Amino acid sequence: MNELLKIISSPQLFEVLNFLKDNPDMNSSAIAKSLGYHTFTVQRYLEVMEKFNIVAFREEKKIGRPSKKYRYIGGKITIDINEILSIFKLKGKRIRERSGDFKYSYDLNRETIKGVILNKEKIKFNEIEGKVLFLIPPVNSNGITACEISEKININEFDVLCALKKFLSLNLIEVVE
């Protein structure tokens, strides 16, 4: 949901979708070149829109890495305001690590946690999530707020809150009472 909220207000997103609607079966770099955008930007838009079933892709295998060819399929996106409000309930709360048998994969040089093994399942974290989780203080501490984390790593507070919500759902952290 966080990814969607970030890009939905971008006029470039709708230019990409309109272009794709008129030019199906193109990869992100071809779309980016045609529109004069950075390939990473177009790829990010397409990945998010694929999660919400607005675009679809098929992999085209050739020499080297396979290429994703996208097509516009349209549809509706529903934004759950209750979900967003539940994320904001964490604002101002102090968070700390929960006791448990977690096995983290660290990157100490980048001060991030790459993933965790939880119930024999490996869960990977994106860069923001990894940086946020790295700053969560241990069990029996006074905890830390989303605002404090945001200031320490210079990431907007909404992204931090979304990461905290995910960690709560995985039972990796707890709210300090």
- Give per-residue pLDDT as tens, 62-102: 777 788 999 999 999 888 899 889 889 999 999 999 998 88
Give CA angle at 93 (90, 94), nearest 5°. 130
Q: Do domains 2-72 and 85-175 have the same CATH topology?
A: yes
Q: What is the pLDDT of residue 146?
A: 95
Rounded distance, CA 146 to CA 140, Å? 18
State how far the Cα of 14 lies from the Cα of 17, in Å rounded to an integer: 5
Sign of the CA dihedral 35, 71, 57, 77? Answer: positive
Q: Which has the closest alpha carbon to 128: 154, 92, 91?
A: 154
Name the DSSP letter for residue 84. H
CATH code given to domain 2-72: 1.10.10.10
Average pLDDT over residues 136-143: 95
Strand pairing partners for 105?
115
Kindly report, residue by residue over 9-56, the tens digit of the pLDDT.
889 999 999 999 999 999 999 999 999 999 999 999 999 999 999 999
- Which pLDDT belongs to residue 86? 87
Architecture of domain 85-175: Orthogonal Bundle (1.10)
Q: What pLDDT is recorded for position 102?
A: 85
DSSP 22-57: HS-SB-HHHHHHHHT--HHHHHHHHHHHHHTTSEEE
For the chain, domain boundaries: 2-72, 85-175
* pLDDT reported for residue 31: 96
DSSP-assigned letter for residue 170: T
For residue 4, give both structure tokens. Answer: 């969607």
Query: Distances from the Cα of 157 to the Cαs of 14, 120, 160, in angstroms?
Result: 26, 31, 5
